[in-house]
Amino acid sequence: MPTTPPPRDIATGGAVVLIATVLTSALGVAYTIAMARLLSPVDYATLVSLLSLLSVASLPAGPIQTVVARATAVAIGRGEPDPTLPVVREHGPRIGGLALALTLGAAVAVPWLAGFLQFEDPLLLWLGVPILGLGMLQPLLRGLAQGRSRFVLLASAAVIDIGGKVLGGVALALAGFAVRGALGAILAGGIASFVLVLAVFRRDSRLVPANHGAGGMPVETGWSSIVATFLAFGSLTALVTLDAVLVKHQFPDEVAATYAVLSVAGRSLFWATGAITTVLLPVVARQAGAGNRGRESLWLGLAITVAVAGAGELAFLVAPTLIVTMLFGATYLAAAPMLPVFGLGSLSLSLASVVLTWLVAQGRQAGAVIVPFAVLAQIAAILSGPDGLADALARIVAVNGATLAALIAAAVMRERAVERSGAVPA
């Protein structure tokens, strides 16, 4: 029977990823502050617009990494001695083709974008072309690392990536290279992290136990799996971030400012538990490949999430005024009474993220339907009436809770279907 990782890997791996996440987040904040001080206002606006453009263009990277990670973990669970080559053969041409298409498309669009964005220096956009292409190749190697549960390697690549961006960008800005230097540093950091993961895989090809036997679940491949993953996790991200934009549209500026405080403080509960799902995905997929439903992993993931996000929610309940005052100042005290309610919604989304990850790792695509519908429901909840922010917030939290309930129902139906059939999960 293939070896499956113990559930405690969720806790230990999650700790590694969480430390890296905190470090990269701190470096990101430092980078934002430093570049705002080192660059002129015009250059800083140019840099921010370029980074936003690259971020939007790189949206497919997340679901691609998830699909590759799951395919790798399932293959390991099924007892394949080394899943790297099969996974690369299956997904490499597709990912490479996407990277090439986006790179060529970006290169063709450079003259138009330079005019549209009013850039006097087209070289800035040309520097963004290889950054975009590399950003589409990164998910292949990082997905392999995640699927192998190589969380130290995954965390190291992320730290090198952001470290090159921050240290190199600041140094080159101080040297007078401005936005060109910032983009060059981003490219250098991306190349360094890419080479690191590639070198580790080339050096060590015996990371997976060479067990054979047990059948397991098939691995969904092709664009349908990538699109379904994008719909599920992309919609979850929209569910977490879109509300602030809609509130800004629907309410006066002072009310939107209050909600912005709630969003920044409350969503920290959701982002703090992101490391758990990063680790949960390969653990459950490997167990599923070996014919194990991964129930213990799901329960452990939910328990850790409740402990982490629940501690934050308890703080919101006990001392909302103190938290708002310390973080944002007395100007935003109007947000304090609503912070526990917002935190409850964030806790629901954190738990929903765990269940969604478990479903995806099991090869189920119910989340690709449930979460997009939740986004539509959230939009309707915010724009449905002229009432106050507290009422709108209550509707938003209700949508978050309903999303969690729907995903739990999908997971329960999945388990009952498997129990009735007596089959290995497929």
- Closest Cα to residue 398, out of 216, 205, 227, 239? 239
pLDDT at 11: 63
Whether the predicted pLDDT of 346 surpasses 60: yes
pLDDT at 354: 93
CA separation for the pair 374, 391 (Å, rounded): 18
The string of pLDDT tens digits covering residues 368-393 is 899 999 999 999 988 886 678 889 89
Structure tokens at 231: 């719909």
Task: Say what the pTM is.
Answer: 0.75
User: How confident is the model at residue 386, as a pLDDT?
Assistant: 64
Q: Note the pLDDT tens digit of each residue in 272-281.
A: 778 888 888 8
Q: Is the pLDDT of residue 260 over 90?
A: no
| DSSP H stretches of helix in 78-122 | 84-116
Q: What is the mean pLDDT of the chain?
A: 81
- Annotated domain spans of the chain: 8-203, 223-421
Looking at residue 401, its pLDDT comes to 95
Lowest mean pLDDT, pick from 110-119, 184-193, 314-323, 403-412: 110-119
Higher pLDDT, 14 or 398: 398
SS3 content of the chain, % helix, strand, coil (to 5): 85, 0, 15
Q: Provide, rounded to the nearest whole percent, the portion of the chain with pLDDT above 90.
A: 16
Residue 236: C-alpha distances to residues 198, 222, 262, 346 (Å):
30, 22, 18, 12
pLDDT bin (cut points 50, 70, 90) of residue 246 is confident
> Mean per-residue pLDDT for 16-36?
76
What average pLDDT does this structure show over 80-84? 71
What's the confidence (pLDDT) of residue 205? 53
